[in-house]
Amino acid sequence: MLGNKKLFLFDIDGTIALGPKLFDGSHQLLSYIEKELGRAYFISNNSTKSEADYVKYFYSNFRYRTTANRFVTSGYVTLEYLKQHFRGGNLFVIGTESFKQELRQNKFTVTDSANLSVDCVLVAFDRELTYRKLENACTILANTNVPFLATNPDLRCPMTSNYIPDCGAICQILTSTIGKVPIYLGKPSRTICDICIERTNYTPEETLVIGDRLYTDIACGINAGVDTCVLYSGEATPDEVARSEYRPTYAFDNVKQLYEALKKASSQA
């Protein structure tokens, strides 16, 4: 039931904002949740921003004050996974210099050359991608059996007036070439959702995942066994929902409509 929800896990782009512009109603909804209902968390498949970066970004662009523990990103989940499975290891990474820097700060050795003795191949969103990096990834994947990991399966990243290739599209080049499919660590893996529930004392029944993309946001909530809500302010359309295997529990045109529905539902609960 919508009226019983206390923990709200929001995707960011296409859900509460587009780029630096917050959607009408987002601020009111987030403040209402924090004041009256429970907690608003942000779950993002963007691995290029740290939690601290997001806190600054939310204040400077959205005038919304929050704290780093309210963000769980695919970058964070990836780092936790790597620490658990490859502590101090040697990683082949397709990713930005700043992403690689963060891995080095966490005591990993990072390379993008065709070194066959690496412990795994990791792909992230990379606006500094070169053909050489792809070529080297193919050499390692074709000649070894090391794990093939990726931060997130999103195919495209929304910009203000177009889309650009995201991590999932880069992985598809490698999959088309070598035939291997990565393990994706961000949404739709349930881990991101589980971390948010663990950080609060709320139950899965009290949790709602809100997003605009079916195969990441909605699938993540379904995998974690919590209710989901699609907003048609980003990628998904009612037609796509009707054809999809990922069926959200609730659907609204935008964040403002969700706000109205929540106010109504919680006054009746």
Sites of contact with Mg ion (CB under 5 A)? 11, 13-14, 212-213
Q: Which is nearer to Mg ion, 58 or 86 (by Cβ)?
A: 58
Cβ(111)–Cβ(132) under 8 Å? no
Distance CA(99)–CA(48), nearest Å, equals 6
Distance CA(90)–CA(88), nearest Å, equals 7
Q: Which is nearer to Mg ion, 70 or 213 (by Cβ)?
A: 213
Q: Which is nearer to Mg ion, 113 or 237 (by Cβ)?
A: 237
Distance CA(171)–CA(152), nearest Å, equals 9
- In whole angstroms, the minimum distance from the beta carbon of 87 to Mg ion comes to 32
Tokens of 88: 């101090």
Distance CA(88)–CA(94), nearest Å, equals 18
Tokens of 38: 């429970």
- In whole angstroms, the minimum distance from the beta carbon of 44 to Mg ion comes to 8
Distance CA(220)–CA(188), nearest Å, equals 4
Q: How many CB atoms lie within 10 A of CB 97?
A: 9
- The string over 54-72, giving b where at least 16 C-beta atoms fall within 10 Å of a residue's C-beta and e elsewhere, is bbebbeeebebebeeebbb
- In whole angstroms, the minimum distance from the beta carbon of 149 to Mg ion comes to 22
Minimal CB distance to Mg ion: which residue? 14
Q: Which is nearer to Mg ion, 18 or 114 (by Cβ)?
A: 18
Q: Which is nearer to Mg ion, 212 or 227 (by Cβ)?
A: 212
Kindly state the DSSP code that residue 37 receives in the 8-state scheme.
I
- In whole angstroms, the minimum distance from the beta carbon of 159 to Mg ion comes to 13
Instruction: State CA 89 to chain mean position distance.
Output: 24
- In whole angstroms, the minimum distance from the beta carbon of 213 to Mg ion comes to 5
Region of 144 please: left (phi>0), alpha (psi -120 to 50) or beta. beta
- In whole angstroms, the minimum distance from the beta carbon of 143 to Mg ion comes to 36
Q: Which is nearer to Mg ion, 95 or 186 (by Cβ)?
A: 186
Tokens of 111: 């390379």
